Amino acid sequence: MMKRTILFFILFMFSLHEAQTHQFIYELHFKGDSTKNKMDSIKVILEVGKEEVKFYDMEFLRIDSIRKNKNENWTTNSTSQQLMKRKKGSNTHQNYRDNLFDYYLIESKDEMKWEIFPETKKSADYQLQKAEVDFGGRHWVAWFCNEIPINEGPYKFQGLPGLIFEIEDTGNNYSYKLINSKKSEKELDTTEFLETHYGNKPIKITNQELNEVKLNYYNNPYSWAMTSTGTWSVNFGDGKIYNKKEDIPYLTRRTQEELRRNNNPIELDIALKYPLK
């Protein structure tokens, strides 16, 4: 399988000009909880178009296909929380974040100051070269291939003289590996799941304002239940159903614990640090 993928890249280099859009599929391993060794794994897509670069969870494409082909109203949220797009050649990113029932747009400028090393290694028929960068409060080691003249990589990583095949942080929290690629003769329509969240247009805010939204929810995650005049229930998957106002203090503590524990976003330097309760 890997050999067929690599052979595709050899053909890809000679037909680079023929397709408008190229999809590079990476396997992302990451720790939602930095205190544990457990790594989650999903597939993510780097889409390099004629004028724009996009990055999103591959699951969105599967759901989008179901919606269009079967006319079913399926939706999904981002597992990676790394949804973004930008103009080619720019370091200004449009970052999309789904948070509970709202969808947000945050603009950021992210310049990569790479240090390139002479060290190389082989990946099937390709020679990769080492580079390192500090980004998002983490130190990253990348392996890029200058035989493929695309200076892109997963998420916001760009600017090397070749496509990034592998990149991971030295704390072993995030790791991306290129596993496949596709090309399309036309631009893909991502308006349903990237530029909007299934028709829900993003609210443009700053990262600080988003952190304030998250902190407000953290401080009182069940305010809606306190004021509800109807029936409601919460299920944590522990076999119990919580549906009384007397349950709210316990539900609040448990939700706050989970938010603190699963708070290991890729960009640590702008992340909200939840207070102990």
Per-residue pLDDT tens for 159-212? 999 999 999 999 999 999 999 998 888 888 999 999 999 999 999 999 999 999
Per-residue pLDDT tens for 31-54? 988 888 889 999 999 999 999 999
Q: What's the domain range around 113? A: 2-195
Domain harbouring 10, CATH code: 2.50.20
Do both 168 and 221 map to the same domain? no
Rounded-to-integer distance, Cα 48 and Cα 210, Å? 28
Burial class for 92, CB neighbours closer than 10 Å (0-12, 13-18, 19+): exposed
For residue 68, the model assigns a pLDDT of 86
Choose among 118, 154, 149: nearest CA to 136: 154
Q: How many whole angstroms from its chain centre is CA 173?
A: 14
- Please say which residue of 172, 195, 218 terminates a domain: 195
Whether 237 shows a pLDDT value over 70: the answer reads: yes
Instruction: For residue 226, tell me if it sits in a domain.
Output: yes
Distances from the Cα of 128 to the Cα of 140, 145, 165, 207, angstroms: 16, 5, 8, 35
- Please say which residue of 140, 171, 195 terminates a domain: 195
What percent of the chain stands above pLDDT 90? 77
User: How many other CB atoms are there within 10 angstroms of residue 70's CB atom?
Assistant: 9
Instruction: For residue 85, tell me if it sits in a domain.
Output: yes
- Report pTM: 0.90
Number of domain units in the chain: 2
Do both 109 and 176 map to the same domain? yes
Q: At 19, is the pLDDT very low, low, confident or very high (cuts 50, 70, 90)?
A: low
Do both 159 and 237 map to the same domain? no
